[in-house]
A and B are shown apart, each in its own frame.
Chain A
Amino acid sequence: MSALLKINDLRIEGRRNTRAAFTAIVKGVSLELARGEVLALIGESGAGKSTIAVASMGYAKPGCRFSGGEVIFDGTSVLDLTLEQKRQMRGARISYVAQSAAASFNASLRLDDQITEVSLAHGIGTRAEAEERMVDLARRMQLPDPENIVRKYPHQVSGGQLQRLMAVMAMNAVPDLLVLDEPTTALDVTTQVEVLAAFKDTIQHSGAAAIYVTHDLAVVAQVADKIKVLLGGETVEDGTTEQILHDPKEDYTKKLMAAVRPPPKRTGEGAGSREAGAEAVVSVRNVDAGYGRKIDGSIAVQVLHDVSVEVPRGSAVGVIGESGCGKSTLARVISGLLPAASGQLLLDGADLAGNVKDRTREDLRRVQIVMQMPDTSFNPLTTVGKALERPLEFYLEMPPEARRKRVAELLEMVDLPAEFANRRPQALSGGQKQRVNLARALAAEPEVILCDEVTSALDTVVGAQIIELLKKLQAETNVTFVFISHDLSTVASFADRVVVLYAGRVAEQGPTAQILQPPYHPYTALLLHSVPEMRQGWLEEIRATESTQLAAASVVEIGATGCPFHKRCPMAVKGTCDTTKPPVRALLNDHRITCHLEVAQLG
């Protein structure tokens, strides 16, 4: 069978601005893809994955240009086509699914109008036919109520549903080739399972070929037939999924594989060593918090409900849960950015004011926060050195000379060269920025550092390095970490205790080793087995389980009566779980599960 897409020795160069010189981004990459095949492009950010993927549509991103090679799609040389000819091909024969569905839909048009637009614009059949294909695809994508969900507006459906609807849009014109650019990276693990399965079914059914761009090897294992490993715009290794997963030839591929942390339930690593008997440095007691105020002074949107968490000194406490469960809100409450509506905060047993404005400078110094997005955490006009000097000046009142010396030490602590002090944040990579971010928190010589999803904006390899750095810093400084993440494997590799949040309530908390083993809260169980495993066939197995199917049927709802999880819980007891607030069941080592079921029933 001849190849549908053939790329020979593709070269692309780019430049940062009109004054800069062009530098090579893609340096001679070749690939072949037949109908019905799924090829995964993997590698760190900056490897040229997306650039190569969109090149198959004859598209170069702004500031980039093709400098060599050829792209043959179904016998046509794509790079030689005129813009008009490319437009005829794009959408109709090759279509694109972007990382962020939310940014790819027009918020003020109904979904069905946007989905069928591609077919109609290319004159592929009538509107009725396009609608028929749309509903058919929506059903295949396992969207609930396919006839009606497409009549909604983008904000009326959940993120995972929107991502699937975007695939429906991309496939509505029956393309021969799909380009999927990290389509599940922004999703929670539970949602990711559904979306992956839907993509896989639909691609197989339609007989289209697909290029799947991702940095997540576990995801690749589920969907891809072939894998191409890229580094710095060059091919490192080509092979079938099976061969790359089980028998990688190149060192770089092995390194990538090593950066994928094994699913947490297999290991009992890292847990519980530092916390036994230590007194709490931060205590959160019965906190209610949320956003906005109603006229009567109550919270308009309540996020946290009666949350109590103890953070033992010198430990690392992981906070996990899907998006919308209140993880970041908890960090903002502890940091004082969002004063709690009710409840108490204690720092070392003493009252801690709820609002930054009311805290003493000393209290402020002792609790530091590190934000999620490395790109927006720094004032773009301030050098790294100045950003690091400010806490030294503000909290420790160091003279300028001592500050500069300390900045160099801080940079060394986070494994960065001292010259970085003169750079601006834009000149740093995501991982480097996150290191500076940590250094800025460390500058205050705090007792507690709140890390809000510090690795989620980074790719796997860089994220793993940051976790190593956190471990090293904890050993060196004995600082306490509150580590927020939606990635259970990351938390499990690092935290001594884990707090599982669901819909703003603590579902379960306890030492990591105990959280990862039965008995667990049904929600913890769902999170645990939704983490993709790096082997083929995992997706099919997991999809067959009852808990996954139930979990997919609804989404996190804040403010439900009874147990917030009952709609998605395979073990829910009718008449109890949906009406009554569940009790807290205490187990060994301060392990608590909030559930109606007896501990013996929680398998």
Chain B
Amino acid sequence: MTDATAARSWHLPDLGFLGWLSVAILVFWTFVCLFAPWLAPYEESTILTDQSFSSDERMLLGSDYLGRDVFSRLIYGARLTLGLALAATVFAFVVGVTLGFVAGIMGGTVDDVMSRINDAFVSFPSIMLALILVSAFGSSLWLLMLTIGFIEATRVYRIARSLAQNIMVMDFVEVSRARGESIWWILKNEILPNAFIPLSTDFGLRFTYSILLLSSLSFLGLGVQPPFSDWGSMVKENMAALNYILFFGFQVALAPILPAVCIFSVTLANNLLVDWNLSRSQKDISSELIG
């Protein structure tokens, strides 16, 4: 039997090499987002040369199709991509968890009505729903955030609802109900703490999906609009460079490939951390089988 006080003493989590690499990648990008104006040598929309995809001693990673500095644009793109995706995920969680908990706790007709409406949205592929919403309402940064947040909220709702349902029927909640506790007390003290770990895992995954959805929208030209650009739109606007590899060598392809690599690095790091979190909680579960 583990002693409670000993188990609570803090130590560095055992992440393994990949885990620490993921943490390093995410810390790196957070740093880049926070200090973008100081890190980037140029403004993101400054045109430095009339040569597309040229290498230039002023520009670390060459120029893009309009002659802008790819390096600077990647740094500002990180801000847009990650900031927008994070804001959308937070929005999705606030809305999804609130509504999901309400449905899970109230049950009955309230749950039926809310869940069927939600099912209608979930039944659309997310990219299709996003395209419809963006074409209908436009793609300002605010609207993009709300669109992605709304779509992910429908997914979060389902998880939050089933978590609330599962916890509501636990004996300790019954005991609290029998004691006469208000629904808010039960929500705050019993449901939220016990739903926290699964929800935090989902937050990680949801953040990844938001990045991918935003990047897909931008790649299709319906996301972040010029002159600003996130990584997805950078891939799209510089795609033509791929045709020139045969004539000018591989370095011209940096402009479209690097933003894709950035997306890849963030989503991979995020997924690895989520996996680690999951395997940790599964280890806790399997350890209950002993004894």
A residues in contact (CB < 8 Å) with B: 14-20, 46, 61-64, 335-337, 356, 359, 361, 364, 368-369, 371-373, 376-383, 390-391, 394-395, 422-424, 427, 440, 444
Give the residue name and chain of the A residue nearest to B191 (CB).
Answer: A379
A379 touches B190 (CB 8 A): yes
Enumerate chain A residues within 8 angstroms of B190, measured Cβ to Cβ.
379
A356 x B180 contact (CB < 8 A): yes
Q: Which residue of B lies closest to A15 (CB)?
A: B290
A15 — which chain B residues lie within 8 A by C-beta? Answer: 287, 290
Q: Does B200 contact A (CB under 8 A)?
A: no
> In the complex, A484 Cα to B181 Cα: how many Å?
25
Contact between B170 and A369, CB atoms less than 8 A apart: no
In the complex, A356→B289 CA distance in Å?
A: 36
Given A16-B291, A377-B172, 6 more pairs with CB closer than 8 A: A15-B287, A364-B178, A379-B172, A379-B189, A394-B180, A440-B175
Give the distance to chain A from B22, nearest Cβ to Cβ, in Å: 20
Taking a contact as CB atoms closer than 8 A, the residue among B14, B175, B287 that contacts A16 in the complex is: B287
B5 cross-chain contacts in A, Cβ below 8 A: 422
Q: A337–B178 contact, CB under 8 A?
A: yes
1/0 per residue B1-36: CB within 8 Å of A? Answer: 111110000000010000000000000000000000
Please name all residues of chain B whose beta carbon is closer than 8 Å to the beta carbon of A64 when the two chains form the complex: 290
Q: Which of A17, A364, A381 contacts B179 (CB 8 A)?
A: A364
B287 near A373 with CB under 8 A, answer no
Pick the contact of A376 from B1, B170, B177, B189 — CB < 8 Å?
A: B170
CB of B171 within 8 A of chain A? yes
CB of B257, distance to nearest CB on chain A (Å): 40
Determine the chain B residues whose CB is within 8 A of the CB of A390 once the complex forms: 179
A394 with B181, Cβ < 8 A, contacts A16-B2, A379-B194 known: yes
Cross-chain contact A336 with B178 (CB below 8 angstroms): yes
Contact, CB under 8 Å: A63 / B289: yes
Q: Are B174 and A371 in contact (CB under 8 A)?
A: yes
Residue B283, interface by CB 8 Å: yes
Residues of A within 8 A of B180 (CB): 356, 359, 361, 364, 394
Interface contact A20-B2, CB-CB below 8 Å: yes
A97 to B289, CA, bound (A): 17
- Are B290 and A61 interface neighbours, CB within 8 A? yes
B135 at the binding interface (Cβ < 8 Å): no
The verdict on B125 contacting chain A, using a C-beta distance below 8 Å, is no
Residues of B within 8 A of A371 (CB): 171, 174-175
Is there an interface contact between B171 and A376, defined as CB atoms closer than 8 Å?
A: yes
CB of A407 to closest CB in B, whole Å: 16
- Contact assessment for A337 and B291 in the assembled complex, using a CB-CB cutoff below 8 Å: no
Say yes or no: is B284 at the interface (Cβ < 8 Å to chain A).
yes
In angstroms, how far is the closest chain A Cβ from the Cβ of B211?
31
A63 and B282 alpha carbons, distance in the complex (Å)? 13
- CB-based nearest A residue for B1: A427
> Cβ of B291: which chain A residues have Cβ within 8 Å of it?
14, 16, 46
Cβ-defined contact, A62 with B286, below 8 A: yes
* Cα-based distance from A130 to B232 in the complex (angstroms): 61
Q: Which residues of A contact B290 (CB under 8 A)?
A: 14-16, 61-64
| Chain A binding surface, main DSSP class | loop
Residue B227 at the A interface, CB < 8 A?
Answer: no
A401 to chain B minimum Cβ distance, whole angstroms, is 21
The CA of A285 and the CA of B171, in the complex, are separated in Å by: 27
- B249 on interface, CB distance cutoff 8 Å: no
Q: Is the CB of B172 within 8 A of A18?
A: no
Let me know if B178 and A378 touch, CB within 8 A.
no
List 4 tightest A-B contacts by C-beta distance, closest first.
A364-B180, A63-B290, A376-B171, A371-B171
Interface string of B220-257 (1 = CB under 8 A from A): 00000000000000000000000000000000000000
Shortest C-beta distance, B10 to chain A (Å), equals: 13
Q: Which residues of B contact A356 (CB under 8 A)?
A: 177-178, 180
Q: Say whether B193 contacts A337, CB under 8 Å.
A: no
CB distance from B39 to the nearest CB of A (A): 39
Residue contact B174 to A337, C-beta cutoff 8 Å: yes
Q: Enumerate 23 A-B pairs (CB-CB under 8 Å) in ascending A order.
A: A16-B287, A17-B283, A18-B283, A61-B290, A62-B286, A62-B289, A63-B286, A63-B289, A337-B174, A364-B179, A371-B171, A371-B174, A373-B171, A379-B189, A379-B190, A382-B189, A390-B179, A391-B179, A422-B4, A422-B5, A427-B2, A427-B3, A440-B175
* CB atoms of B194 and A377 under 8 A apart: no
Known contacts A364-B179, A364-B180, A394-B181, A376 near B287 by CB under 8 Å: no
Chain B residues positioned under 8 Å from A369 (CB to CB): 174-175, 178
Give complex CA distance A382, B174 in Å. 15
Whether A380 pairs with B287 at a CB distance below 8 angstroms is no
Chain B residues lying within 8 Å of A444, measured Cβ to Cβ, are 179
How far is it, in angstroms, between the C-alpha of A382 and the C-alpha of B176 when the chains are bound? 13
Q: How far is the CB of A332 from chain B (nearest CB, A)?
A: 8
Query: A502 CB to closest chain B CB, in angstroms?
Result: 25
Chain A nearest CB: distance from B138 CB in Å? 44
Inter-subunit contact B177/A337 (CB<8 Å): yes
A337 contact set on B, CB distance < 8 A: 174, 177-178
From A45, which residue of chain B is reached at the shortest CB distance? B291
Minimum CB distance partner of A381 in chain B: B193
Residues of chain B within 8 A of A382, CB atoms compared: 189
The complex places the Cα of A16 from the Cα of B288 at a distance, in Å, of 7
CB distance from B180 to the nearest CB of A (A): 4
Complex contact A335–B181 (CB within 8 A): no
- Smallest CB separation, B7 vs chain A (Å): 9
Other-chain residue from A17, A46, A424 in contact with B4 (beta carbon distance below 8 A): A424
Chain B residue, CB-CB nearest to A360: B180
Q: How far is the CB of A464 from chain B (nearest CB, A)?
A: 22
Name the distance in Å between B200's Cβ and chain A's nearest Cβ: 14
CB-CB under 8 A from B4, the residues of chain A are 383, 422-424, 427
In angstroms, Cα B176 to Cα A440, docked, is 11
Tell me, rounded to whole Å, the shortest Cβ–Cβ distance linking A445 to chain B. Answer: 13
Distance in angstroms from B25 CB to nearest chain A CB is 25
Q: Bound state CA distance, A158 and B14, in angstroms?
A: 47
The interface bits of chain B over 187-228 (1 if a CB of A lies within 8 angstroms of the residue's CB, else 0) are: 001100110000000000000000000000000000000000
Complex-state Cα separation, A373 to B193, whole angstroms: 21
Max count, chain A CB within 10 A of own CB: residue among B14, B193, B290: B290
Q: Which A residues lie within 8 Å of B172 (CB)?
A: 376-379
Contact of A394 among B3, B179, B289 (CB under 8 A): B179
Chain A nearest CB from B117 CB (Å) reads: 22
A394 to B178 CA separation, bound complex (whole angstroms): 12
Chain B minimum-CB-distance residue to A63: B290
- Chain A residues near B175: list those with CB within 8 A: 369, 371, 377, 440
Measured between beta carbons, the chain B residues less than 8 angstroms from A62 are 286-287, 289-290
Bound: A424/B3 CA distance, A: 9
- What separation, in Å, do the CA atoms of A440 and B172 have in the docked complex? 11
- Chain B residues contacting A361 (CB-CB under 8 Å) are 180
Distance (whole angstroms) from the CB of B262 to the closest CB of chain A: 34
Nearest residue in A to B291 (C-beta to C-beta)? A46
* Complex CA distance for A381 and B4, rounded to whole angstroms: 12
- In the bound complex, residues from chain B placing their C-beta under 8 Å from that of A383 are 4
Q: A61-B290, A423-B4 are in contact. Are A380 and B283 (CB under 8 A)?
A: no
C-alpha spacing A376/B158, complex, angstroms: 24
Q: Given A379-B193, A422-B5, A427-B1 in contact, is the A17-B174 Cβ separation under 8 Å?
A: no
